[in-house]
Amino acid sequence: MASWPNQEAWSAERDQQSVVTDGGPRFTWVVDCGEVALPSGRLVACDPFAGMYMGGNPFIEVPPGRYPVSVTLADVSPEQNRSHIREAYATVRIAQGEEAYRKALPLAREGEPRPELAEGEFVGFPVDAGTACFVDDWSLANCMPPEATWLEGLFDSDRPDSWFNQMDDPEQIRAGLANIALPKARRGENIVIFHSGWGDGAYPLVGSFDASGRLLAVHVDFAVVQ
């Protein structure tokens, strides 16, 4: 039997699917979150409220562009009645094609070595505020106000467009998901934010590849479907 992340139960982007896992039954469906702009191709996945910086973040490199983002939700209730929903995966779709295999993708800052990982190994990014995101590192360096203003002026304020309020707004995408323009955006620079499955922890990035080794998608696996 294949080991993570090539196990049979893997369910990223699998819409309207039932699967039995070691943790119980899961029913998954996919929510479209719009696109994320990656003008530099430096894709950052991090906790935006506890681990994001104005440039210099760990990243993986993809071709610059705008890419669709989706979140795969999972009903984890024993009754499978959608009474307990968790975010199972978040995905940036880079290209279309037939997936041949998956492997973990280590994030690293510019100039840092990227470890070679065996199947089943990963280096996760930390989550301390129950939230994760996709964003471009160049966009953070060029389209955000000073970091000292982020918490009270941008994340958590009385303004309806504060990031916390947008995440809680069921009209944005759904409660817990938001696609937000960066404050100094000029060409559609944005961030896509989503709750992180079981909450705080360390979560891996996983790449989907075709038989030629071309990267098709980048996923965050929140360990909900195991």
Summarised one tens digit per residue, pLDDT across range 74-89 is 999 999 999 999 999 9
Q: Dihedral of CA 129/85/76/103: which sign? A: negative
Tokens at 9, concatenated: 């139960």
pLDDT at residue 208, rounded to an integer: 98
Question: Is 106 in contact with 115 (CB distance < 8 Å)?
Answer: yes
Task: Give the distance, in angstroms, between the CA of residue 174 and the centroid of all CA atoms in the same chain.
Answer: 16
| Residue given tokens 């941008």 in the structure block | 154
pTM of the model: 0.96
Q: Dihedral of CA 67/172/193/40: which sign? A: positive
Separation of alpha carbons 128 and 117, rounded Å = 24
pLDDT at residue 1, rounded to an integer: 67
DSSP for the chain reads: -PPTTS-TT--TT--SEEEEETTEEEEEEEEEEEEEEESS-EEEEE-TTTS--SS---BEE--SEEEEEEEEEEE--TT-SSSSEEEEEEEEE---S---EEEEE--B-TT-------TT---PEEESSSEEEEEEHHHHHHHS--GGGIIIIIISSSSTTSHHHHHH-TTTSBTTEEEEE-TT-SS--EEEEEE-TTSSEEE-EEEEE-TT--EEEEEEE-SS--
What are the C-alpha distances in Å from 161 to residues 98, 156, 157, 180?
39, 10, 9, 9
* Low-confidence residues in the chain, pLDDT < 50: none
As a whole number of Å, the CA-based R_g of the chain is 17
DSSP for 202-215 reads: EE-EEEEE-TT--E
Separation of alpha carbons 6 and 174, rounded Å = 29
In angstroms, how far is the first alpha carbon of the chain from the final one?
Answer: 13
